[in-house]
Amino acid sequence: MKTQHFSLLFILVAWSFLGSGCFEIVEDITVHNNGSGEFYYTANLSQSKANLDLIMQDDSSEGYRVPSRQEIDADIVRTKATLEKQPGITNVVTTTDWPNYIFSVKFSFASMSQLNAAVESVSAEFAADHKSIPEASGNFAFAGKVFTRKSNYNAEKEKEKLTAKDKDILRNATYTCIYRFDQPVKISNNAKSKISASGKSVMTRFNMLNLATGIEKIAHTITLK
Amino acid sequence: MYRKFLLFTSALLASTGLFSQENYIHIPKNASYVITMRPYQQGERNNAESLSRLEMFGNGRSYNDNLYVYGSTSLAEDPRERLTNYLSSILSSPSTTGIDSLRNIYAFHEENDTCSYWAYILPVGNETVFSGYLTAHLFGQGTLVVKDRGYSSLSGERITAGWTNNYAIIVLSDYYRSTYDEYAYMDYNNMEYVQALEDSIRMADSIMAVEARLAAEREAAEIISDSSKNATRDELAEENKKLLERLEQGELPEDTTLFVNPYEDYAYYQDESVQNEVAHDEQALLLLNRLMNLEYDNSLASNKNFRSLQDEKFDAAYWYNYGLVMQEEYRKQVERRSRYGMWGTQEEQQPLDTLLFPSMWEESYVAGLVTFNDTVTEMEHRISVGSEMSEMTSGMYRGRVDRKMLKYVKGDNLLSLVCLSVNMEKFIRFSGQVYRENMRYSSMGMFEQTYLAMWDIMRVFIDDKTMYELFTGKFVFAVTDLKPVVTTFVTYEYDDDFNRREVTEERTEIVPEFVFMAGVGRKKDMQKILDILERTALIKKVNEDYYMVMNTANPASQMFIVFRKGILMFTNNEDLVNNHLHKGYKGKERLDKKMRKTARKSPLVAWWDGKRTFDTVRKIEKDDPDGAKKNDLERNVSSGLIMGKKGRKGEHRIQMTITMPADNEEQKRSPLDRFFHILNGLFLIVK
């Protein structure tokens, strides 16, 4: 169950592991020349909603405790409140679409270090509940004309802990990274990345199982012109 | 004279008994799971090539991760492949492998604080052939056979084997500290950290103790050397103790980030892995030696329940010590609760208010006897319970389901049917007790007490009699068809600049059409419950006959509730609630006579039509992505039937019959071979 480290909103994703079926996570970040920008993170479990409808009626599934709707709502409110307290973080908006099981969080950040601090603050907030993300630290950097998406996730170590069930669930899940810039992109060092028609955005889609087992790496560096 | 003859005969029998001692003498008393196989009763028709190709055995490779098909998750690919081929050769061609085809094969599992392992006990018919085949096929030609302890042994790549001219033991062992491992990956608050440090020290201590023991045994000055780049284990343990003392004295600030020392440095971790590998091999040899020389009192042979099972007729049997497994589970739960700081440390915990859980399953065993007869495989599942459980459960299953319930079961494409008839008072007392005890020792933490309090409060408002009489104890559950339901989901499309647009797509899901019925004893009380649910808008009355459940907008999850003529019914079959509530199903749609009779043969009946299920799925899902996976199961199962059966005192028996389609004459396989294909089909579907 260590794959949750990919998710900045573990609280939203952890229980998605309870049901088999597909889900997708989208990490969409706009970075301006001065390092400020917008962060938009979405967990879409819509494809598994029939399963989730059933699972949410129970208090446990496959040996994992199923949180209630109220509990998840409360965690989302807590996430919003934590982010709003962070310096340099503004316009925090969270959305929940329960019928489709789509959850998102969106905010503006003044600098890359403040974005990192914000993500870490959410992780720290949930540390006591064991919902934190130890690897969610210093994941983004922007210096000169180079944007770096880092990852502290140690697939070699963590993949041993994945159960067959975990793998089955992750097999059909996707993680999409979209990074947008003011300047055109020169190159992305990830072979899977695509550059948009305007040349200012980079999209990379990963299979979650490949990420969890280290076949694919989320870390990549984008150099601007 | 007669007395002398009797004494002589008894002595002769006793000595014969000793000499014909079964190989299960080598299974330790605390083994939790045991599988017994008599694979050759059907002749040598098991196809080695066919068995070794089964995905269940991982084809020796990729499919096998994290599954205990061989009993070890830590085997590397090459030895795993060799083991696959070796085991399938044993099943298919015993004479080539030197196995005695007239005696039993055993596989068993034992677990303790530091070791979890599976082992195989094989009957040796020809030691020379056995030794040659084992060396060449499992360990590799040229591996040195050691003969210094009264038996021959081979070891390598996490497989250890020992044999005499009578039997062989192959051990696959994993050494670990499971709770310790959890800590290596967790964030700690200070309370947990204290516990983690304690674990760490215990781990270091236990490794050192093993080292010392091995060193003494092998007369080696030092088996595990210290890394030159890192601190010695002694120094780390000392450091841990100091940190622990400082923590306990409150010297460290609350937010101090600390690590468990033995793993703080990756180089050290790697170094320790190598050391562990050496220690592992040495421990496996010690374990093998223990099993080879096991005495009666420490052996499962001293367990009457297991021994008596071995005297019965079967082709394969499984047995597990349920009492022991539950006891171990209880121990882990208590440890985990203490570890997570739910109730303080173990010593600080309040005295437990109920103590039934550890004892309620005492002397309880579960066993299954499987027999193969051409196209029919029969399995008798037995649950033997100790006196405490026997008192609680005797007479619980009794009577038959009502005939009138069966008329609401649509029969023209019936896929499965479960009928249960119980004494509700016994059933509720039993369930309540087990539920309560399980809850009491679960890891639910702060919620436990709330749930337990709710359970007790419920008893204040509902008297025992009402609880026992609300339902009559007659229950029917049937899957009457599979139907396609079109559902929608939201996903994203991206334009050329990766701007996202939400799109709604459709997909077809297969939903089982089902009906669940419960006989109601107290109709007025049930009506009150439904009225409350309606008032709170959880259900909506559609007409005089039925209600609609209101908690879903998903058509695949739409449910209806019916309450009439003393039957409470849950179903997602709209046709049933609209057209068949007054007279039930008639004609061809009705449950056929044979099935109506089967449904009332015993207090517990469960039936599944495999062929019909697969045919129905195929009709709906023409491009079924999992079709290939289901294929093996489909080719090998026609139907399954489960029935309650009368057992001895303190014993519950369930008879399961699997009917398999006959093979073509030229492709005829043994029933065991086919049974393995069924297991393989189930394995693929589960996976």
B109-156 tens-digit pLDDT:
887 655 678 889 999 999 999 999 999 998 887 778 888 888 999 988
Disruptive mutation site among B273, B486, B497 for chain A (greatest number of A CBs within 10 Å):
B497
- Whether the per-residue pLDDT at B396 is higher than 80: the answer is yes
Distances (CA, A) of B616 to A2, B480, B621, B661: 38, 11, 9, 18
- DSSP notation for A119-139: HHHHHHHTGGGT---TT-SS-
Residue B148, pLDDT score:
81
Q: Tell me the angle at which helices A69-85 and A112-125 cross, rounded to the nearest 10 degrees.
A: 140
State the SS3 of B198-248: HHHHHHHHHHHHHHHHHHHHHCCCCCCCCCCCCCCHHHHHHHHHHHHHHHH
- Whether the per-residue pLDDT at B197 is higher than 80: the answer is no
| Tokens encoding B34 | 């045991």
User: Do A130 and B187 lie within an 8 Å CB cutoff?
Assistant: yes
Task: Compute the average pLDDT of residues B591-620.
Answer: 83
Can you give the C-alpha Rg of chain B in angstroms? 30
Residue A201's closest chain B neighbor by CA?
Answer: B497
Contact B168, B86 (CB under 8 A): no
* Residues 6+ away with beta carbon under 8 Å from B591: B406, B407, B409, B410, B411, B414, B585, B599
Question: How much of chain B, in percent, has pLDDT values that exceed 90?
Answer: 22
| Tokens encoding B410 | 């649509």
**Highest mean pLDDT out of A125-139, A140-154, B200-214, B266-280:** A140-154
- Name the residue with higher pLDDT: B23 or B174: B23
Question: How much of chain A, in percent, has pLDDT values that exceed 90?
Answer: 38
Residue B150, classed as helix, strand or coil, is: coil
Contact B604, B646 (CB under 8 A): no
From the list A54, A163, A196, which residue is nearest B498 (CB)?
A196
Residue B183's closest chain A neighbor by CA?
Answer: A130
Contact A138, A159 (CB under 8 A): no
Task: Compute the average pLDDT of residues B519-543.
Answer: 90
Beta-bridged to residue B254, according to DSSP, are none
Chain B residues with CB inside 8 Å of A53's CB? 552, 554, 557
Which residue reads 């070791």 in tokens? B115
Residue A55's closest chain B neighbor by CA?
Answer: B557
How many angstroms separate the CA atoms of B162 and B145, rounded? 9
Contact B556, B510 (CB under 8 A): no
Contact B372, B441 (CB under 8 A): no
Instruction: Name the residue ranges covered by the structural domains of chain B.
Output: 22-177+292-340, 178-264
- Whether the per-residue pLDDT at A41 is higher than 80: the answer is yes
Q: Tell me the angle at which helices B190-218 and B322-339 cross, rounded to the nearest 10 degrees.
A: 130
Chain B residues in contact with chain A using a Cβ-Cβ cutoff of 8 Å: 65-67, 185-187, 189, 444, 487, 489-492, 494, 496-498, 500, 507, 509, 551-554, 556-557, 687
- Whether the per-residue pLDDT at B206 is higher than 60: the answer is no
| Tokens encoding A32 | 């301006």
What confidence category does residue A61 fall into, taking pLDDT thresholds of 50, 70 and 90? low
What confidence category does residue B183 fall into, taking pLDDT thresholds of 50, 70 and 90? very low
- DSSP notation for B548-609: EE-S---GGG--EEEEETTEEEEE--HHHHHHSTTT---GGGBPPHHHHHHHTSSSEEEEE-
- Whether the per-residue pLDDT at B234 is higher than 50: the answer is yes
- Whether the per-residue pLDDT at B406 is higher than 90: the answer is yes
| Tokens encoding B611 | 């062929």
How many angstroms separate the CA atoms of B317 and B369, rounded? 4
How far B342 CA lies from chain A's nearest CA (Å)? 12
Number of helices (H), then strands (E), belonging to chain B: the values are 23, 19
Distances (CA, A) of B213 to A111, B116, B224: 58, 20, 12
From the list B187, B552, B556, which residue is nearest A127 (CB)?
B187
Please state whether beta strands B115-123 and B167-175 pair in parallel, antiparallel, or not at all (unpaired).
antiparallel
Residue B622, pLDDT score:
59
Q: Which of A91-105, B55-69, B537-551 has the lowest mean pLDDT?
A: B55-69
What ipTM does the predicted assembly reach? 0.83
Does A128 contact chain B (CB < 8 Å)?
yes
Distances (CA, A) of A65 to A12, B312, B314, B328, B382: 14, 42, 40, 22, 31
Please state whether beta strands A37-44 and A24-31 pair in parallel, antiparallel, or not at all (unpaired).
antiparallel
- Per the prediction, chain A carries an average pLDDT of 80
- Name the residue with higher pLDDT: B686 or A72: A72
Chain A residues with CB inside 8 Å of B503's CB? none
Task: Compute the average pLDDT of residues B489-512.
Answer: 88
- Whether the per-residue pLDDT at B42 is higher than 60: the answer is no
Chain B residues with CB inside 8 Å of A40's CB? none
Contact B98, B127 (CB under 8 A): yes
DSSP 8-state secondary structure symbol assigned to residue B166: S
- Whether the per-residue pLDDT at B233 is higher than 80: the answer is no
Contact B309, B367 (CB under 8 A): yes
- DSSP notation for B251-275: -S-TT-----GGGSSHHHHHHHHHH
How many angstroms separate the CA atoms of B52 and B59, rounded? 6
Chain A residues with CB inside 8 Å of B507's CB? 47
How far A197 CA lies from chain B's nearest CA (Å)? 5
Chain A residues with CB inside 8 Å of B186's CB? 130
From the list A53, A164, A197, which residue is nearest B65 (CB)?
A164
| Tokens encoding B428 | 């509720």
- Name the residue with higher pLDDT: A105 or B435: A105
- Whether the per-residue pLDDT at B594 is higher than 70: the answer is yes
Residue B272, pLDDT score:
54
User: Do B66 and A99 lie within an 8 Å CB cutoff?
Assistant: no
- Name the residue with higher pLDDT: B478 or B101: B478
Residue B650, pLDDT score:
74
Give the H or E element holding residue B515: strand B500-520
From the list A47, A164, A198, which residue is nearest B687 (CB)?
A164
**Highest mean pLDDT out of A102-111, B482-491, B625-634:** A102-111
What confidence category does residue B193 fall into, taking pLDDT thresholds of 50, 70 and 90? very low
CB under 8 Å, gap of 24 or more: what pairs does B251-257 form? B252/B190, B254/B190, B256/B190
Residue B591, pLDDT score:
93
User: Do A49 and B186 lie within an 8 Å CB cutoff?
Assistant: no
Residue B556's closest chain A neighbor by CA?
Answer: A50
- Per the prediction, chain B carries an average pLDDT of 73
Task: Compute the average pLDDT of residues B360-368.
Answer: 86
| Tokens encoding B556 | 């695949």
Residue B121, pLDDT score:
95
Give me the phi and psi of B332, to 5 degrees please: -65, -40
How far B521 CA lies from chain A's nearest CA (Å)? 27
Residue A83, pLDDT score:
94
Residue B434, pLDDT score:
73
How many angstroms separate the CA atoms of B410 and B318, rounded? 36
B337: buried, middle or exposed (CB in 10 Å: 19+, 13-18, 0-12)? buried
- Predicted TM-score of the model (pTM): 0.64
**Size of the A and B interface in Cβ pairs below 8 Å:** 68
Disruptive mutation site among B489, B494, B557, B684 for chain A (greatest number of A CBs within 10 Å):
B489
Q: Tell me the pLDDT tens digit for each residue of B647-679.
A: 777 777 787 787 777 766 666 666 667 667 666
What confidence category does residue A162 fall into, taking pLDDT thresholds of 50, 70 and 90? confident
Which residue reads 């109709």 in tokens? B523
